[in-house]
A and B are shown apart, each in its own frame.
Chain A
Amino acid sequence: MGKEIFMPDEELDLSVNLGGIIMKNPVAVASGTFGYGGEYEGFIDIADIGAVIVKGTTLEPRCGNLPPRIFETPSGMLNAIGLENPGVGIFLQEYLPRLRDQGVTVIANIAGNTIEEYARMAAMLEGNRGIAGMEMNISCPNVKEGGLQFGVDPDMVYKVVKAVKEETSIPVMPKLSPNVSDITAIAQAAEAGGAAALSMINTLMGMAVDVERRKPVLGNIFGGLSGPAIKPVALRMIYQVYKAVKLPILGGGGIMNYIDALEFIMVGASAVSVGTGNFVNPCLARDLVWDLKKYCIANNIKSIEEIRGAAVQ
C-alpha cells in the first residue's frame, strides 16, 4: 500500500544461478522465517520470490523448545525455537507438492544429529521434483561426537557436506554458523566437501536476562540473534569468504531494505536472503526485487553481476 505505480523494466533480467540453484530474482526468504510458505499467502505471491527456503526439517518430528522462545533485543531478536517441525516425511508428502504446484522455487533445509542422519535425509529428498536446492543447517550438535556443533569444526563440515553430496544431485548449500573463530576455514572445508553454494550467516548465539525473575529470558537459555543488529558481522564474514572460496554466496543477516541488500551484493553475495525482516514486512522480498530493479535502471546496471563484490579490496 502507498507504493507508487511503477513498472520496472521487464527486460531487466535479475535471475541468478546460485551454484545450480536457478532463482528468478536474487532475493530468497530465509529458513524458519517463512514456514512452509502457506503462512504468508495473501500477503505476497510466493511464486514471485527468488527462492523460498522452507522451515528446517529433521528425520523425525520435533516439538521444539520450551517457551519463551523469542525475545526482542535492540535492532534484533533472539530465537530458540528448537527446530520444531513435522519431520522430513511430512514435508515431502504434504508441503512440497503444494509448493511445487504453485510454481515456487523451493530450497529444502535439513538438520541432523549425526552424519548418517544428514545423508539419509539427502537420500530421501533426492528424486523429488520441485526441490531446487538443499540448504544444510550445520549448527546442530553432533550427538555422536559429544554434542559439538558440526558447523564449528572444518573437518566435520567437510565430512557432513561430502556425505550429503554423495546422496544427492540437488545442489547442496551449507548454512554457515558465525559462531566460529575463522569462517574462511569452514567455508573452504565446505567447498572441498562438494558444496555448490554457501548460505551465510546463521544467527549469532546470545542471551537475555529477566532481571526481575533473575533468570534467562529464553526457555532454552541461549538463542540465536538475528535482525539488523547482526548485519555488520554478516557483511564482514561474507567479505572474507568471498575472497577465500570460489563458491557463490547467498548472503543475509538483518536485511531490511534494498540498500542493505546492495551492501551484501557488494561484499560478494550472488543473491540475498531476508529473514527477520519478513516478520516486520511480509512483502519485503517482493519490495526488494522492485527496489533493486529501480536501482539497476537508475544506475544503468544490466545485471547484478556488475556490482557483485564491488566493495571487496
Chain B
Amino acid sequence: MPFIENGLVLRHIEVSRDMYELEFIAPAIAPDCRPGQFVHIRSGLDNNPLLRRPLSLYDVDKKLGSITLLYKVVGKGTNLLTRIRPKEYVDAMGPLGRGFSLLPPRKTALLVGGGVGIAPLVYLARVLQQQGCKVKVIHGVESRRELVALGKLREIGVEFLPSTMDGSAGYKGLVTDLLLKKVNPADIDFVYCCGPEKMMARVSEIARENGIAGEVSLEEYMACGVGACLGCARKLKSSDAQYKKICKDGPVFGMEEIEF
C-alpha cells in the first residue's frame, strides 16, 4: 500500500558529477518496497517546478526503514532536489508501480544497467542475492567516475563487470558488446535491464536471439504516478489499441512486450 510521508534525510551526497545519492527515513513506505518500484518525490514546496519526480528505489533498508535513491540532475526539479540537506525532510509518495518479477532461488540473473539506469538494479541485486539467486551485474558508463554503484554491489557480493566508453575501467566500449563478448548466454536464466532505450532495445534483441526471457524498466514524464491522469502512456505489442500506463502497469515490463 502506498503512503505519503516526509522522510528525514540521513545522507545526501554527490557521488559523481551531477549524480546524487539520497537516503531518507520512510517508516511507512519502506516496508512494502519491492525492487523496480519507484517513489514520487516533490523537489520543492513552490509551484515551480510543480509536479513530483519519479525516482526508482536504489536501495532499501527495511530494518532501518530507510530508502536510498540515486539520481542524475537533468532539469529544474532534480536540481532543486540537490539542495535538500541531511536532517531536513523530503516529501515522498510510494512505493508505486509494478516492480521486477523475482527469479526463484538457485537461478542465474543477468542485470544490465546503462548510466543512472543502474539504480533499480542495485536493489534488485540485493533482493535476488538474499533469496539465493546467482547474480551477475554489468554496467555501462562513459567513464570510470560514473561507476557509482561499485561500493554497494561489492557489499552485496555479486559478480560485477563494468564497461566504459573511454576505457578508463573494465571493458572499453558499449555494454552490449561487453555482454556479447564476456557473458555466456547458456549461464543465464533471466535478464533484467534498465538504461537508455537504445541500449534496452539491443539487450532485448540479444536476449531474444538466445531464447532468454527478461524485463526492462521504462521511463516517461509522469504527473500523478498512480494511473489517474493517463499521461505516461505506452503501447505494448500485445495490447492492441490499448495504451498501458508506465506508472501503474509498469515501470517494469516483459522484454517481449516492448516495441523499441
Question: Residues of A with Cβ closer than 8 Å to B?
Answer: 1-2, 32-35, 39-40, 42-43, 55, 63-65, 67-72, 74-77, 79, 81, 84, 227-228, 256, 276, 278-283
Is A282 within 8 A of B229, CB to CB? no
Q: List 24 A-B contacts (CB under 8 A).
A: A34-B228, A35-B227, A39-B224, A39-B227, A43-B3, A63-B243, A64-B243, A67-B220, A67-B234, A70-B232, A72-B49, A74-B48, A77-B223, A84-B230, A227-B50, A228-B47, A228-B48, A276-B223, A278-B224, A278-B228, A279-B52, A279-B229, A280-B52, A281-B4
Q: Which of B1, B47, B230 contacts A64 (CB 8 A)?
A: B230
Q: How many A-B residue pairs have CB under 8 A?
A: 105
Is B50 within 8 A of A77, CB to CB? yes
Main secondary structure of the interface of B (DSSP, over half): loop
Classify chain B's interface size.
Answer: 35 or more
Question: Residues of B with Cβ closer than 8 Å to A?
Answer: 1-6, 28, 42, 47-52, 89, 93, 220-234, 241-243, 248
Is A79 within 8 A of B4, CB to CB? no
Contact flag A64-B229 (CB < 8 Å), given A43-B2, A72-B50? no
| Alpha-carbon gap, A228 to B46, bound state (A) | 10
* B219–chain A nearest beta-carbon distance, Å: 12
Is B48 within 8 A of A75, CB to CB? yes
Is B42 within 8 A of A280, CB to CB? yes
| Alpha-carbon gap, A255 to B125, bound state (A) | 42
| Alpha-carbon gap, A79 to B222, bound state (A) | 11
| Alpha-carbon gap, A68 to B246, bound state (A) | 12
Which residues of the partner chain B approach A32 to less than 8 Å between Cβ atoms? 229-230
Is B229 within 8 A of A81, CB to CB? yes
Is A227 within 8 A of B230, CB to CB? no
Contact flag A79-B229 (CB < 8 Å), given A33-B224, A43-B2, A84-B243? yes
Which residues of the partner chain A approach B221 to less than 8 Å between Cβ atoms? 68, 70-72
Which residues of the partner chain A approach B6 to less than 8 Å between Cβ atoms? 1-2
Which residues of the partner chain A approach B51 to less than 8 Å between Cβ atoms? 72, 77, 279-280
Nearest B residue to A74 via CB reads: B48
| Alpha-carbon gap, A71 to B248, bound state (A) | 18
Which residues of the partner chain A approach B234 to less than 8 Å between Cβ atoms? 67
Q: Which of A42, A84, A279 contacts B224 (CB 8 A)?
A: A279
* A218–chain B nearest beta-carbon distance, Å: 10
Is B224 within 8 A of A81, CB to CB? no
Q: Which of A42, A43, A81, A256 contacts B231 (CB 8 A)?
A: A81
Which residues of the partner chain A approach B233 to less than 8 Å between Cβ atoms? 64-65, 67, 69, 81, 84
